């Protein structure tokens, strides 16, 4: 994103949502298979999923929480309303993610399978709300100066060292 005047910072976040939705579809298809096993496919897929969710997706959440939401909160507040709801869902996501990846780490595939659906449902719906409600609202409300501010903060987070969160 080289020209913040032309592109909205939400474009980058929307693009990242596409990768997350792809992962959700891929893993949901895997968990829908009849056989529950510790086959290499499960180990590889879930190890890869947890790394992606704890690094790239954690950074995506950080960009929303530290760059976009504070600016949007100036218009809609952060105690109630859409930003408050999104923050609450981020917390729920973290709790479900920790549960899921702990089960992956201990190769407890029964728990992985039962942790997956609530995790994927929450994250899928959350992304849908951001794409259809929150981001269009941000695009309408934010002025050019605020867009640049959000863009710069997001760039700084992109450049920061990747620290896996669990």
Say which residues have a Cβ less than 8 Å from residue 90's Cβ, sequence separation at least 6: 61, 64, 65, 126
Q: Which residue is nearest to Fe ion (CB)?
A: 130
Q: Which of residues 109-138 bind Fe ion (CB under 5 A)?
A: 130
Task: Give the nearer residue to Fe ion in terms of CB position, either 12 or 130.
Answer: 130
Number of H helices, E strands in the chain: 8, 0
133 sits in the region (left: phi over 0; alpha: psi -120 to 50; else beta) called: alpha
Q: Minimum distance between the CB of residue 87 and Fe ion, rounded to whole angstroms? A: 12
Task: Give the nearer residue to Fe ion in terms of CB position, either 87 or 102.
Answer: 87
Size of interface with Fe ion, in residues (CB under 5 A): 1
Task: Give the nearer residue to Fe ion in terms of CB position, either 62 or 108.
Answer: 62
Task: Give the nearer residue to Fe ion in terms of CB position, either 1 or 102.
Answer: 1
Q: Minimum distance between the CB of residue 153 and Fe ion, rounded to whole angstroms? A: 15
Query: How far apart are alpha carbons 1 and 7 in whole angstroms?
Result: 7
Do 16 and 60 form a contact (C-beta atoms < 8 A)?
A: yes
Footprint on this chain of Fe ion (rule: CB under 5 A): 130
């Amino acid at each position: 994103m080289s020209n913040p005047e032309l592109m909205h910072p939400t474009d980058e976040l929307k693009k990242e949502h596409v990768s997350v939705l792809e992962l959700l579809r891929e893993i949901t298809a895997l968990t829908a298979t009849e056989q529950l096993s510790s086959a290499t496919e499960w180990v590889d897929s879930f190890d890869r999923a947890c790394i992606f969710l704890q690094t790239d997706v954690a950074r995506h959440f950080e960009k929303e929480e530290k760059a976009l939401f504070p600016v949007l909160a100036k218009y809609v507040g952060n105690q109630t309303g859409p930003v408050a709801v999104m923050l609450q869902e981020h917390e729920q996501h973290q709790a479900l993610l920790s549960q899921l990846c702990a089960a992956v780490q201990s190769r407890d595939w029964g728990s992985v399978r039962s942790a997956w659906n609530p995790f994927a449902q929450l994250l899928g719906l959350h992304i849908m709300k951001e794409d259809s409600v929150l981001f269009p609202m941000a695009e309408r409300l934010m002025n050019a100066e605020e867009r640049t501010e959000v863009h710069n903060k997001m760039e700084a987070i992109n450049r920061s060292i990747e620290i896996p969160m669990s």
